[in-house]
Structures are given as C-alpha cells and as structure tokens.
Amino acid sequence: MGKGCCACKAVSTGVFKANGVRFYRFPVDVKKREAWVRAVSDAKGTKLWSLKSHHSLCSLHFISGEHNADPKHPDFAPTIFFKDAKEVLRRGKERKNRANAREKKKDEDASRRRYIDDIKRLSLKLHSYNKSPLEEPETVKPAEHLEDVCTTGPAGDVPIIEIDSNEKDNKLIQDLTKENKELKLHVKSLEKENAELKAILRNERWGVHKIKDDDSKTKFYTGLPSFAVFLWIYNYLLPKAERMVYWTGNGSAAETVSDRSRQSTGKLSLIDQLFVFFMRIRLGLFVTDIAERFNVSTSLLTKYFTSWLCLLHCELKVLNAFPSRDAIRLNFPESFHKFPDLRVILDCTEIFLQKSNSILNQNLTFSNYKHNNTLKFLIGITPSGIISFVSEAWGGRVSDRYLTEKSGLLDLLEEGDMVMADKGFTIEDLLKKKGCTLNIPPFRRGNRQFTPEEITKTKKIAELRIHVERAIGRVKNYHILEGVVPLSLAPVISKVFQVCCWLCNFDVPLVS
C-alpha cells in the first residue's frame, strides 16, 4: 500500500505518482517539525490534531515542490493547502495544456507568415513587371553553375531562383490558377456545409422561433389563440421586463419593479424567458425538462418562472379589473335577455394538493366533496363569458358561502345587481344587505315534486350557468393545474391560478 498525505487526499500511487508527487516524513529537527505540525493544524482548523509516526506530507504543499532546511526560506514549512489534491493536479494540467496550445498556435502563425513572405518574394522574381524594360532576358544557366543562379531575397534568408523561361512561368501560373480554383470550390463546399449545420442547430435549439408565425403551435405551447397575441403581450410587458428585478429566493425581490438597471438575465433573451413561462404553465412540464431543452440550469429557470409570474400577475390584474355595469351591457349576449340585471355568474372549483405532514394543514385542505386534499377557488364570469373575478386559494374544507363572503366579491357589487349561481351558494341574505338579488335553481321542499314553473326556471338557469363551467374548463387546460399540485408550488399557486384565468380572457369569447 502506498504512502498518503495527512493534509490532503494525495497518495503515492495512480495519478499522483504519474505526476511526480513526492512524500516527506515529518523532520527530526524539533523546530522544523513544530513548524510543520503548526501549519497542518491551522489548515485543518483544529488544535486537537496530533502527529503520528506514519504521517507524511506531499510535495504539493510546498511552493518549489520540496522542503528546505533554511528557516528563512518559504518552504521551511508547508504553506499551500487545499481540499482536493486531484483538483489541483487537474487544474495544473489544464494550465499546462493551455500554455502548450498558445505556444503551438504562435509557432504556426510564425510559420504561416514566413511561408507567405516566401511566396511573395518568389512571385515578384518570376513575373516580368518586376524587371526593368531595358533588361535583356537571360538564358537559363547550366546546372553546374546553379549556385550562381541563386541569390538572396530581401530579408537575406530565403534563396530565390531567377528564372526567365516563359514556359516555366506559364506552367507555374497554370498550377497556381488550378490550385486557386480548387480552393474556391473547397470554400464553397465549406460554406454550404456551414449553412446546413446552422439550420440543423437552429431547429434543435429551443426558443420562440418554434412558434413563430404558427398559430397552431402557439396554441399548443402557450394556450394563446395566435402568435400575434403572444407578441402583443410581450410588447406590452417589455418596458417593465427591461427593469425587472429577478426573484432570488427571498420571496420579495420579484414582487416589485424597479427603475434601476436590470440584473443579468443569463443565457435566454426576454422573449424566450416569456416563452419558457408559458410552456411551464400550459404544458405542465417539469422544470428539469424545460431547463434541458433550453440548455440552462434548473435554478436559473426557476428564477425566470417566478419572476415572470409575479410580473404577469401584477400587469394582468390591472387589465382584468371587475367590469362596470356599462361595460357588461355593451357586450350583453342575446341569450341572457331575460336577466338584464345579471352582473356575475359564480361557481367554485378545486385542484388537488399534495398531502402535508402537518395535521392542521391536512384538516384545512381536506375536501368532503373530492375526498382528498384540495385548494378551492371562487370564479365569476360576465354574461359574455369573460372571467371577471378570481379569488385567492382557500383550503378545500371551506364552504361556498364562507368563501364568497371572505373573497371580497360582495364589495364589488352594486345595488340592483343580480348574481347567478348553483344551489350551494346560500348567500341570499348576504346579497340582500347589498341590495342585490340571487338567482339559483329552486329547492325541493319536503316530498313534493317541482312545479312546471320551477322545472322551467331550473332549466333556464342551467342553460346559462353552464358557461361558467366552460370557463373553468378553459382554465384547467393549463396543465400546471393538472394532477396533484406539489407543496413547493403552494406559496405561489394563487398567482398561478389567477394568471391562468386572466390569460383565458385573451381567447375567443365563450358566448357570442
């Protein structure tokens, strides 16, 4: 078994042996041994370390690679310490390889320059425009006097042969012309190959170009009806996005938009970051999957998602304010003409939540309707099908009446408004205090059957109330809400759900 260093992981075998790492026993000299022991103890950060008879140090801990007997010399005691000896060897080897590569490139460049200079000198001697018009052409000298033909070039280092034969001049020109044509053909083939490789790389690289001018792909990847709508949202958010402070994990950085310079965004452009956000909520893909597609880290992609979620929630909330009576009447569908005072149609929906370890949280989120842990939301739509109200997330245990009372919807209603809902919304007394009316299907009292008038009323309400179910169906097409929502997403699930609802309003109207 080989020796081992007591200060690092180096051993006298394998890669350390191949790199010439040597090992030294602790010195017999008391002063020097104490200096070594003190240096190792300081490096380990403890005074409890004690010297054993088998302990030794490797040459990696000395500046020159070996210890020195002179107390004034820097290698009298070890001074270099690190956590991983293999990492030190690897970095040293990389530095050496980079230095060798630089020297090799330098030599190649010098050789190339010498070759070009030689060609220029030879070309000047071979062509007639380098000679005086009064000079008489000389005949080629015999081979035995070839040493007289050679002269020295301008730099005094390259011999140049003076040739006056037109035949040899023509042959050289033909050879150079042929070589030039071959090089041009080779350059063209390389340019073609380069263009093909760029096209392949462009197709393999993920980005907004995947959906550019393709409405069907835009609908699939983002949930928006067309690429033009995607560009409109991007251009609307761009001034704020350029000043956006990115989320860093403390839960507050991305809540606000600052006028100061934007932080570094990493590898993705702003429009690709928005595309990443839409892919995450629309397709419900895992963060690791999207990060692999866009060649970024999972932590960076999480930063993008949370930052854009907060920005979209802040901006879309302003665009999707609770509409006024005049705005609703301006777009009032013909099918609702029997309910002219109708302001909002209500319904609740639930999404599954990962079971918490906390008994209290399990109790608050358990739904008797779903028989599972859920989160509950109150959604209200206008008669034309636009989602006009979305509550925060509540535990699945809460009742429809309590959720409606605490959601803030009642504060938005005005006297004379009508609210349509199903039988679970027993809020008639709450609405009377606001001067509003409730339109729900009638209850069957005792054992008596419904009257024909009650059956007709139930049918009419069901025909119109189905539109809120269709609106909820659109929201749940954003697959991030599909399945069981992990607890890691719970802190921002209200924003996720509300943004999904507001994005549905960019689609074609549910009721014409």
Give pLDDT tens digits for 155-168.
444 444 444 456 76
pLDDT for 406 beyond 50? yes
pLDDT digits (tens, 9 = 90+) for 451-480: 777 777 778 888 888 899 999 999 999 999
Residue 202: its pLDDT value, please? Answer: 65
CATH number at residue 466: 3.30.420.10
**169-189 pLDDT, tens digit each:** 777 788 888 888 888 899 998
Round to whole Å and give the CA distance between 104 and 116: 18
3-state DSSP call for residue 41?
helix
User: Rounded to an integer, what distance in angstroms lies between the CA atom of residue 265 and that of residue 243?
Assistant: 11
**Domain boundary pick from 83, 115, 136:** 83
- Does residue 246 fall inside a structural domain? yes
Q: Are residues 495 and 392 in the same domain?
A: yes
**Is residue 111 included in any domain, yes or no?**
no
Domain match, 233 and 372 both: no
pLDDT band of 135, cuts 50, 70, 90: very low
Q: CA 307, CA 237: separation in Å to the nearest integer?
A: 12
At a CB cut-off of 8 Å and minimum separation 6, what does 317 contact?
498, 502
Q: What percent of the chain stands above pLDDT 70? A: 82
Separation between Cα atoms, residue 281 and residue 290, nearest integer Å: 11
Q: Return d(Cα 352, Cα 480) in angstroms, integer.
A: 11
pLDDT of residue 250: 59
Instruction: State how far the Cα of 241 lies from the Cα of 390, in Å rounded to an integer.
Output: 25
339 with 311, same domain: the answer is no
Identify whether 384 is part of a domain.
yes
Q: Which of 26, 51, 83 finishes a domain?
A: 83
190-225 pLDDT, tens digit per residue, is 998 888 888 776 666 788 988 988 999 999 999 999
What average pLDDT does the chain have?
82
Whether residue 335 sits in one domain with residue 288: no
Are residue 335 and residue 450 in the same domain, yes or no? Answer: yes
Assign residue 194 a region: left if phi > 0, alpha if psi is -120 to 50, beta otherwise?
Answer: alpha
What's the pLDDT band for 92 if we cut at 50, 70, 90? low
Distance from C-alpha of 488 to C-alpha of 447, rounded to nearest angstrom: 49
Confidence (pLDDT) at 71: 86
CA distance 106 to 486: 57
Specify whether 365 is located in the same domain as 494.
Answer: yes
Sign of the alpha-carbon dihedral angle for 410, 412, 413, 415: positive
> Is 131 inside any structural domain?
no
The yes-or-no verdict on residue 144 having pLDDT over 60 is no
370 and 453 in a common domain: yes
484-485 and 342-353: which strand pairing? parallel
| Reported confidence tier of residue 6, pLDDT bands at 50, 70, 90 | confident
Q: Which two tokens stand for residue 507?
A: 């689609």
pLDDT tens, position by position, 426-447? 999 999 999 999 988 887 766 5
Q: For residue 257, is pLDDT > 60? A: no
Residue 501: pLDDT band (50, 70, 90) is very high
pLDDT for residue 266: 56
Which three-class secondary structure state does DSSP give residue 10?
coil
DSSP classification of residue 412: G
What is the per-residue pLDDT for 123? Answer: 66
Q: Determine the pLDDT at residue 447.
A: 59
**Do residues 380 and 437 share a domain?**
yes
Q: Are 378 and 407 in contact (CB under 8 A)?
A: yes
Same domain, 459 and 435: yes
Domain count of the chain?
3
Q: Which pLDDT does position 286 carry in this prediction? A: 92
> 70 versus 91: which is more confidently predicted?
70
On the question of pLDDT at 328 being above 60, the answer is yes
Report yes or no: 253 and 246 within 8 Å, Cβ to Cβ.
yes
Could you tell me which residue, 77 or 8, shows the higher pLDDT?
A: 77
Residue 112 within any structural domain of the chain? no
CA angle at residue 42 from 37 to 47, to 5 degrees?
75
User: Which helix (H) or strand (E) segment is 14 a member of?
Assistant: helix 14-18
Average of pLDDT values for 410-418? 93
Of the three residues 26, 60, 83, the one that is the final residue of a domain is 83
Distance (Å, whole) CA 333 – CA 58: 86
Segments forming the whole domain that contains residue 227: 215-319
Within its chain, how far is the Cα of 25 from the centroid? 52
Which one is predicted more confidently, 345 or 9?
345
In a domain, 65, yes or no: yes
**Model-level pTM?**
0.60
Domain match, 335 and 437 both: yes
Above 50 in pLDDT, residue 60? yes
Q: In a 3-state reduction of DSSP, which class is residue 167?
A: helix
In this structure, the answer to whether residues 413 and 392 fall within a common structural domain is yes
Confidence of residue 136 (pLDDT cuts 50, 70, 90): very low
Nearest to 320 by CA among 122, 502, 59, 117: 502
Per-residue CA distances from 327 to 221, 322, 323, 330, 334 (Å): 32, 10, 6, 5, 15
63 falls within a domain: yes
In a domain, 344, yes or no: yes
Q: What is the mean pLDDT of residues 495-504?
A: 96
Whether the per-residue pLDDT at 355 is higher than 80: the answer is yes
Q: Judge if 357 and 500 occupy the same domain.
A: yes
